Structure 1
Amino acid sequence: MILVTQCPDCHATFRLTAVQLHAHNGDVRCGQCRQVFNGFLALITVPEAYIQSVAISAQPVPDQFPSVTEAVLSSTEQSPPTDHFGIPLPSEKEDSRPWLAINMLLLALLLGQVVHAYRTEIFVAFPALQPLLRDYCHLVQCEIDLPRHLHLLSLESSDLRISSPAEPDVVVLTAIIRNHALFPQELPALLLTITGTGEQPLASRVFTARDYLVDSAAEQSIFSGESEIQARCFLNTGDVGAIGYQLELIYP
């Protein structure tokens, strides 16, 4: 094992002897840049097999400090500077701006993926962002899948009757649907089942929101939270012989 120290100014690495270290409490002069430094501050011991010596010609010095002139690794050979074992040291002048720009770009891509994946949750939680999300989905050709919590919907009332005496086979179905959720949901469909004697099913039909919404709400696509909508649709029962009906809310 041999003693090795490094000049703090030029980063040249030198072998030391015990005599040089104890001559002036560790103060030595660099044989390359002539700077006086304390050899104890960066002193380590390494196996001699790890050392590749580079001779530096010694020049007489007028002062009292011993000069270390046998460099293990010359600072002129280090680009960038390395430690005692050849591992590159970080450069103080390294420009981190390109990495910052790359990191910001990756962060923006990550946020975009999060918004796309959780667009429904964001749509529900932040109503103020709904117009922006609609524009985004229109741009990228995606859809906002609204929540479909059927247990938070209810039929407040419903009625099925003949539309007019002149057309006894045509009936009109009216209903009031309520969304008890605090957030908007997808509009449900209506499953109408015509029943006969003993509530035996005779015929059934599914009415989507486009079928049952009245004229004033025909373009409605969102069932707002804590709100009600009125449904109305017509059906020709023909000669089915209907006696009663059953009405359910479903999500196809």
Structure 2
Amino acid sequence: MSWITRCPACGTSYKVVSDQIKIAQGWLRCGQCQHAFDSTGLLVAWPDLIPSAFGVMPVQEIDDRLVIEQLLKQEDRSPPQSPPPSPSAVVASFEEALSTFSPQLPSVLPPEALPALSGESVLSATHLTASHPPRYWWPISAVLALLLALALQWLWIERHMLAATQPSVARVLHAACRFLGCEISPVQVRDGVAIENSSLTPTDGGFLLSWTVRNATSHALQMPALTLTLLDAQDKVLVRRVLLVAQQGAPGALAPGQVWDGQLNLSPEDGLAPSGYRLFSFYP
């Protein structure tokens, strides 16, 4: 079915079809002044001239036998039919109806309403974004939290080494441990404390063990324990003894490059005559 609409800006009339109106959702653009308007309430049905003006008579079966006398005697009593309106008369009546038609809806929004509508839309979009954050941030937040947990775990495990090798970080770590109730001990480095010299001298009723250790690193180290092994003439083990830091009378830590001398009196069992010894440092 066809429709007739009129541009509210320039008054030009157009013929449109239903498919065009459905696709554009009622919006049309004037081909004369290029004005876009909503055709809702501006459409008038265009009558189908040919079927309505000129009716088609139904086909009747014709009898082969036509009696002329009966046909002459019949009287046509049907009321006289008025002549069909001409196409020009139909168009004129439509133009008259269209000129008296008033649109129901405004074609466009007033200009003063545009800034307010734009501001409210931006405010609504901002509020919606703030109240409902995008979901793709959740995996990123989980990864960042996991990385932070791993970093804190690494700091906890390596706090002793960091405090010994990084003086600037040591202050922060000591302050954190005082707050958390943890301790920072000197680090243990294998072969970091070297035994520079040692001796085992017989004395009245025993032996005197003397040794010298030195911190060979550039940071403080924990004092190691010692292992003393007494040997016979065939280098067989007679006695093996572990000397802890408290038994040595040594300090708990050695500063970088610090040298410390130790002595210890040994009282072996009766009849034990060692011919040699071995002295090693280790961390228990």
Give the alignment's TM-score, normalised by structure 2. Answer: 0.48
Number of residue equivalences: 176
Match of 1:17? Answer: 27
Q: Which has the bigger relative contact order, CA under 8 A and spacing at least 6?
A: 1
Q: Is the radius of gyration larger for structure 1 or structure 2?
A: 2
The CA distance in 1 between the partners of 2:30 and 2:243, in whole Å, is 98
1:234 and 2:265 aligned:
yes
Stretches (4+) displaced over 6 A: 77-80
State the one-letter code of the partner of 2:261: Q
1:243 counterpart residue number: 275
* Residue aligning to 2:124: 81
AA matched with 1:193: T
Q: Is the 8 A contact 2:192 2:221 kept in 1?
A: no
| Distance (Å, rounded) in 1 between the aligned partners of 2:182 and 2:279 | 33
Deviation at 1:128, TM superposition (A): 4.8
Alpha-carbon contact 2:227-2:242 (below 8 Å) kept? yes
Is residue 108 of structure 2 the alignment partner of residue 67 of structure 1?
A: yes
Cα contact 2:197–2:213 (8 A) shared by 1: yes
Matched letter for residue 234 of structure 1: N
2:230 equivalent to 1:194: yes
Question: Identity, % of aligned pairs?
Answer: 21
Instruction: Report the CA distance between 1:157 and its aligned residue.
Output: 0.4
Stretches of structure 2 that go unaligned for 5 or more consecutive residues are 1-21, 38-103, 111-116, 134-144
Amino acid at match of 2:197: S
State the distance in 1 between where 2:129 and 2:198 align: 76
CA–CA separation in structure 1 for the residues paired with 2:31 and 2:216: 84
2:164 and 2:220 in contact (8 A); partners too = yes
Q: Give the 3 Å change call, closer, same or farther, for CA 22–225 of structure 1 in structure 2.
A: farther
Q: Deviations over 1:180-200 (max 9, x none)?
A: 222222211110001112121
Contact 1:190 1:208 in 2 (8 A): yes
Alignment partner of 1:177 is 2:213: yes
Higher helix content, 1 or 2? 2
Greater strand percent: which structure?
1
- Give runs of aligned pairs for residues 86-165 of structure 1, distance below 5 A: 89-90=128-129, 115-130=155-170, 133-134=173-174, 136-137=176-177, 139-144=179-184, 146-162=186-202, 164-165=203-204
Give the deviation of 1:155 after TM superposition.
1.3
CA-based RMSD: 4.4
Work out whether residues 16 and 68 of structure 1, in 8 Å CA contact, stay in contact via their aligned partners in 2.
Answer: no
